[in-house]
Amino acid sequence: MPNLLIPDKFATFTLAQLEDDNALLTATATSLTAVTYAVATLDGALASPGPAVMRFPQRVRVETSTEAAAYNTTDAIVFTGTDDSGAAVTESITLANAGGNEVQDGAQGFLGMVSIAIPAQLKNSGQFTIGVTDIQFSKERPGLQVEFGAAGNIVVEFFDGSVETVVGLEGAKKEGLIKRVVDTSTTADPITVWRGRSHA
């Protein structure tokens, strides 16, 4: 008999938690030398001190302030943490704009963040903030349901590749094999998300 998926955990997110731009690292000046932020120097709301722990895996978001010719667009920022199975994972994000005013989102879902290694930058007058965005599930532990805590939209990506903007009233639910809950254009506040796991 094939394994069945059963709900094993749920969590409620406000919009401010679904997209929290400085949840891992608050506004931090660029440095002319490479710096690794870990433990006490991870000072965002989900860390302070690190390692940071998310309720469900979320993607990382890097934002830079506007500062001409300040940012390193050659060497990647390296994130080291864990996924929803507890396995160690890393992700590299390379900035594209030396002048800043940039937002870069990762694709890896992190349940924990151990360290963020930022390479040497070109000036010390820029500024980073690093936070979290979309909830990112794995095939082994997919999302199973989202529930509206208030009327609005919830944008959901499923494992079949489809993306749906679900419109609902408070208490409405949407079920499926959910890969990602997308913060962009999600307006329902709060939302509650259920995750599943295999059960023989």
Domain spans, the chain? 4-13+138-199, 18-133
Say what the pTM is.
Answer: 0.93
* Residue-by-residue DSSP string for 23-44: EEEEEEE--SS-EEEEGGG--S
Q: What is the pLDDT of residue 1?
A: 31
- How high is the mean pLDDT of the chain? 94
Q: Is the pLDDT of residue 182 over 60?
A: yes
Q: Which fold has domain 18-133?
A: Jelly Rolls (2.60.120)
What confidence tier does 8 reach under pLDDT thresholds 50, 70, 90?
confident
CB 53 within 8 A of CB 81: no
Q: Are 115 and 34 in contact (CB under 8 A)?
A: no
In tens, the pLDDT along 52-89 reads: 999 999 999 999 999 999 999 999 999 999 999 999 99
Given a contact cutoff of 8 angstroms between Cβ atoms, the answer to whether 98 and 122 are in contact is yes
What per-residue confidence (pLDDT) applies to 2? 43
Q: Does residue 73 contact residue 79 with C-beta atoms inside 8 Å?
A: no
